[in-house]
Homo-oligomer: A and B are copies of this chain.
Amino acid sequence: MDVQKRIKISDLLKEAPIGKEVTVMGWVRTFRNNQFISMNDGSTINNLQAVVDFQQMPEETLRKITTGSCLSVTGVVVESLGKGQSIEVKVKDLEIFGEADPEKFPLQPKKHSLEFLREIAHLRVRTSTFGAIYRIRHSMIYAVHSFFHERGFYNIHTPIITGSDAEGAGEMFRVTTLDPANPPMDENGFVDFREDFFEKETNLTVSGQLEVETACLALSDVYTFGPTFRAENSNTSRHLAEFWMIEPEVAFCDLEGLMDLAEDFVKYLTRYALEHCAGDLEFLENRLLEEDKSKPQQERSTMTLTERLRFVSENEFERLSYTDAIEILRNSKPNKKKKFQYLIEGWGSDLQSEHERYLVEKHFQKPVILFNYPKNIKAFYMRQNEDGKTVAAMDVLFPGIGEIIGGSQREERLDVLQERIAEMNIPEKDLWWYLELRKFGTAPHSGFGLGFERLIQFVCGMGNIRDVIPFPRTPGNAEF
């Protein structure tokens, strides 16, 4: 293995150093006519064509060049006369690192269903589709950090194991080292969590927001980017038990400033994808077009992948109040003709993804930000408006999926916050430290949350959320 001489396929295709001898290492995608090896090393969606002279090559070696095998080829770069590539490598030396028995290797050069590939999550990354998704996922991670770093935000690692059970965003997983068969019991017959590792009951976090607010009220502009968990028994294409979330929190920022930030943020991300992931997007766009062909007309995407990304990055988002949105929806055709699954009766009801999509795709034909929601359908920490009925919350709505971002100005007034948590029967002692942020040097501040996998679904055009995270965790499934 002569690593010094190795060149990545992405660099090789970019530089196209005709006449130069290079060494390429990667995995065989196909081997045609005992002559043409199509190789990929993960650095790009594009494969390299390596051409062997089968008359010079031992039979035994040729037999080992199969789909999935790993090898190193050394040879001169020449112009390619074949279709689909401009250069190829004329193989002089070939070393086989690892074979892949065609009788056993599950990834053969044919179409595999996404369901089948989920069963072999350790291998699916070797397909073009998942290679593209993983690379885009990386690009989006990097873009998230770049966006915030450029604006002077600090990334804060909020805790994963939390002793706070007031987050209220959903069902939690317990974290424990107690003997599951014989838990210690206290004098009242309850499990004695004082004997547990942390000497109390602890859970996996459902959101880093409350904790990141502590940093916000000292450093001004902060964000989290970490895993969050929901122990909900939802076996849908939109839910994961473990997913990654991005939560910026900004001091001295009101709802309008927050909407500006959210719009800038998703525009930055979609523009970044268009500029930096062109090859992978093109591949996934074609994949989506193919997939759509097998669907009934009304389930097909109305926009191609790049059209959808431009829809976000190029349009000015429509901003309107929840109250105005309800009016539009109540008078809309699908509501009057009872085409909505959930009919809009009047003010106060929660919006479903069908309503959100109607506003974005049909009514405004641009991304929409709704704000000032009824307080009864929102969380305790959202800032109450003067009308006494609404809170300064906002949701960003996207085509195809509906809500992608949810956020709010936070209630910074101690007395109003205390009243609200009393109304909602949350014990004050569970939030003692959160309330202290309002007791000492409180400040107006706002923040939002973006589910990272939803974003990747949108950018990659994948219908099932299990296909945009390397090892999805869902009810009954924690393989690997």
Q: Mark A residues whose CB is within 8 Å of B.
A: 1, 3, 6, 8, 10, 25-28, 41-43, 68-70, 72, 97-101, 104-105, 121-123, 125-126, 131, 134-135, 137-138, 141-142, 145, 149, 152, 154-164, 171, 173-178, 180-181, 183, 185, 190-191, 197-200, 202, 204, 211, 214-215, 217-221, 226-227, 229, 231, 233, 241-242, 244, 251-254, 257, 412, 433-434, 436-444, 469-471, 473, 475-480
Contact = CB atoms under 8 A, between A and B. Distances in A.
Contacts of A176: 173-174, 176, 180
A470 B159 contact: yes
Contact of A173 (B41, B126, B177): B177
Which of A175, A176, A211 has the most chain B CB within a 10 Å cutoff? A175
Contacts of A105: 440-441
A125 B218 contact: yes
Nearest to A136: B154
Contacts of A251: 25, 41
A122 B175 CA distance: 22
The 3 closest A-B pairs by CB, nearest first: A42-B219, A98-B442, A163-B478
A260 B241 CA distance: 38
Contacts of A131: 218-219
A443 B70 contact: yes
Number of copies: 2
Contacts of A215: 125, 134, 470
A269 to B, nearest CB: 15
B161 A473 contact: yes
Given A122-B211, A163-B479, 19 more contacts: A25-B251, A25-B252, A42-B221, A68-B440, A100-B440, A122-B433, A131-B219, A138-B156, A142-B149, A158-B470, A160-B227, A161-B241, A175-B204, A176-B180, A180-B191, A198-B473, A199-B476, A214-B470, A227-B227
B244 A157 contact: yes
A26 B221 CA distance: 12
A473 B159 contact: yes
A181 B190 contact: yes
Nearest to A66: B441
A478 B218 contact: no
5 contacts: A42-B219, A101-B439, A125-B215, A126-B441, A158-B470
Nearest to A41: B220
A40 to B, nearest CB: 8
